[in-house]
Amino acid sequence: MQKPMKRRADSVTIRDVAKQAGVSVATVSRFINQNAPVSVEAAKRIQQVMLDVNYHPYAAARHLVTRRTQTIGLVLYSLQTDFFLPLLSAIESAVSKNQYNLLVAGYKSPVGKDSQPPIGAHNTDGLLVFADSLSEEHLAPLARTGFPLVLLYRTSPPNLKIPFVTVENRIATQKIIDHLIEEHGKRSIIFVRGPHGQEDSQAREQGYLDSLKKHGIAIDKNLFVDGEFNSEVAYQNIKQLVSHTHPHFDAIFTGDDDAAIGVLTALNEVGLRVPEDVAVVGFDDSRLSTFLNPPLTTVRAPTEEVGRTAMQLLFAQINEQPAESVTLQPTGIILRRSCGCPYEAPGRLQ
């Protein structure tokens, strides 16, 4: 295919794209609106032609009143944990303030299947995407056609340059593990992993490894447990670990505060006291953290601020204004009794 010269976006029509890509107008329409499946080969051809001829359907369509849905979309793969409540509250507040509606969809891109998400360009004016709810294959056609997008708790694929908002994970995790080692003398610290492949989980694990290396502590594979940022999963796996394999440990990093609920329950059931026998720390500083028994030492992450910032970036795009591409929110350590400290004290922002 000969690569054409770039043309003004407003001089190119959907028919031009269809002709150049060798597909029907209906196929291009399905690709743009993501309201029906399009073969992988056809999608690649259409996407490349749109780039070649500088075709941005959403940029033009936003000038037409009939294209406005007055709806913001939010794609999440789960709503089952307490973590999402402040995030949703901040998003909903910003949506209402701007006289929009919020459409929330529970969805996670299936591996190896040609499935379209339930919300997107066909029924919203902009989309917030949590973590890895949508794959790069689903994000690419939206991003490359100018549709307003903001990613939450994940970075943008390098070739797409989608604005994203996340929190600092790695340094904060290292500092809370440093605290266990340096202030409480802990040396055998269980790491409860979050979802495999999720960036928050990976960064926290790297922070844990950084702290062990800093203090000359060897990595013990027996001290890694899957927790999925979920209280039930963390409960079952910690209970099994303690009841059956009996590895030596004197502290647990729970991955996040929801998992901490399951960890504390499991330890209580097997007769281990916190913090007398085992120190426990978490991440997020959820609203329940201070009410746990004992109150949880954790990393305070500004979940509501993530939601507010994401909405600012999304509305900037909808209104064709500049939007920051990278927003990293600071985090800080909160000391409570679960680690062995006899008091509560906020840590400095990292």
Q: For residue 293, is it within any domain?
A: yes
Same domain, 196 and 340: yes
pLDDT tens digit sequence for 285-344: 999 999 999 999 999 999 999 999 999 999 999 998 989 999 999 999 999 999 999 876
Q: For residue 143, is it within any domain?
A: no
- DSSP class of residue 284? B
Task: Compute φ and ψ for 198, nearest 5 degrees.
Answer: -80, 140
Name 126's bridge partners: 72
Cβ count near 344 (within 10 Å): 12
Query: For residue 46, with 0-12 CB atoms within 10 Å meaning exposed, 13-18 middle and 19 or more buried, which class applies?
Result: buried
Block residue for tokens 């006291």: 273
Same domain, 345 and 206: yes
Say how far apart CA 284 and CA 85 lie, in whole Å: 12
Same domain, 176 and 39: no
Which residue ranges of the chain lie beneath pLDDT 50? 1-9, 60, 62-66, 348-350
Task: Compute φ and ψ for 328, nearest 5 degrees.
Answer: -110, 110
Q: For residue 58, is it within any domain?
A: no
Which pair of tokens denotes residue 241?
């670990």
Same domain, 40 and 175: no
Residue 315, pLDDT score = 96
Q: For residue 150, is it within any domain?
A: no
Residue 344, pLDDT score = 67
Q: For residue 4, is it within any domain?
A: yes
Closest among 119, 193, 123, 199 to 164, alpha carbons compared: 199
Number of residues written out for the chain = 350
Q: Domain tally for the chain?
A: 2
Instruction: Calculate ∠ Cα 62-67-72, nearest 5°.
Output: 85
Which pair of tokens denotes residue 249?
């440990």
Helix (H, G, I), strand (E, B) or coil at 148: coil
Long-range contact list for 60-64, CB < 8 A, 24+ apart? 60/9, 60/10, 62/125, 62/318, 62/320
Q: For residue 226, is it within any domain?
A: yes
Q: For residue 310, is it within any domain?
A: no
Domain that holds residue 30: 1-45
Closest among 97, 96, 76 to 85, alpha carbons compared: 76
Closest among 224, 172, 170, 220 to 199, alpha carbons compared: 170
Say how far apart CA 129 and CA 139 lie, in whole Å: 9
Same domain, 342 and 193: yes
Query: For residue 112, with 0-12 CB atoms within 10 Å meaning exposed, 13-18 middle and 19 or more buried, which class applies?
Result: exposed
CATH code, 243: 3.40.50.2300
Residue 253, pLDDT score = 98
Q: For residue 211, is it within any domain?
A: yes
Task: Compute φ and ψ for 343, nearest 5 degrees.
Answer: -155, 175
Name 280's bridge partners: 252
